Amino acid sequence: MFISFEGLDGSGKTTQANLLVETLKARHHAVDFIREPGGTDISERIREILLDKKHLGMNEVTELLLFSAARAQLVVQTIQPALKEQRFVVCDRYVDSTMAYQGYGRGLNLDAVRAINAAATFGVMPDVTFLIDISVEEIIERRKQSGTPIDRMESSGKMFYEKVRRGYLATAKEEPQRFVVVDGAQSIEAIKKIIWEEVEKRTRKQKAEMK
């Protein structure tokens, strides 16, 4: 099963992805945990370029193509082989991030973004995507409390993140069977429970369909 986690930077998606991986391993499931951009040597090099604050002048199309290039390598080198071995694949960000950030956030043509996404994924899409939804105001407050430095993507401003959030919610509305939208303002344990119950349900369904 291929599971992806989406959400604004600071939404708690990475925490929940890690918790799910721990739960799967505790139940003796084979699982690969990967992040985007990254997950392969080539993809990690591209990640360094994308997040480096020295590259604030990066063109929006350049950004889109770099994210997509990292993804294409990840799909071929890591995701497809793992799925063929019937392993769980948990991915911290995937193709929906590109639609939300580069499509809605940067204002690039959505049809063009969809076409590039299709090429970069080779048609490999998650079985379920958890969108940890949280307000931009809450994100800003969390950043103030944590005091963590921001990268190039995170320095884009409040208006940008409002557009990204709207993009995520619009994408989730278009694919209700794949997306599970979770209120990120809940406690970590409450969110963890919602996610695990959904994974269990979909795993049982998947096994039943294979019989």
Enumerate the domain spans of the chain.
Answer: 2-206
Q: Is the pTM of this model over 0.85?
A: yes
Between the two ends of the chain, the Cα-to-Cα distance in Å is 16
pLDDT at 154: 59
pLDDT at 145 over 90: no
pLDDT at 149: 66
Question: Percent of the chain beyond pLDDT 70?
Answer: 96
CATH superfamily, with its number, for domain 2-206: P-loop containing nucleotide triphosphate hydrolases (3.40.50.300)
pLDDT at 151 over 60: no
CA 46 to chain centre: 17
With a CB cutoff of 8 Å and minimum separation 6, the contacts of 99 are: 110, 113, 114, 117, 167, 171
Q: Give me the residue label for tokens 């958890």.
A: 130
Residue by residue, DSSP assigns the chain as -EEEEE-STTSSHHHHHHHHHHHHHHTT--EEEEESS-SSHHHHHHHHHHH-GGGTT--HHHHHHHHHHHHHHHIIIIIHHHHHTT-EEEEES-HHHHIIIIIIIT---HHHHHHHHHHHHTT---SEEEEEE--HHHHHHHHHHH-PPP-TGGGG-HHHHHHHHHHHHHHHHH-TTTEEEEETTS-HHHHHHHHHHHHHHHHHHHHHHH-
pLDDT at 36 over 90: yes
pLDDT at 153: 58
Give per-residue pLDDT as tens, 80-100: 999 999 999 999 999 999 999
Residue 56: pLDDT band by 50, 70, 90 thresholds?
confident
Residue 59: pLDDT band by 50, 70, 90 thresholds?
very high
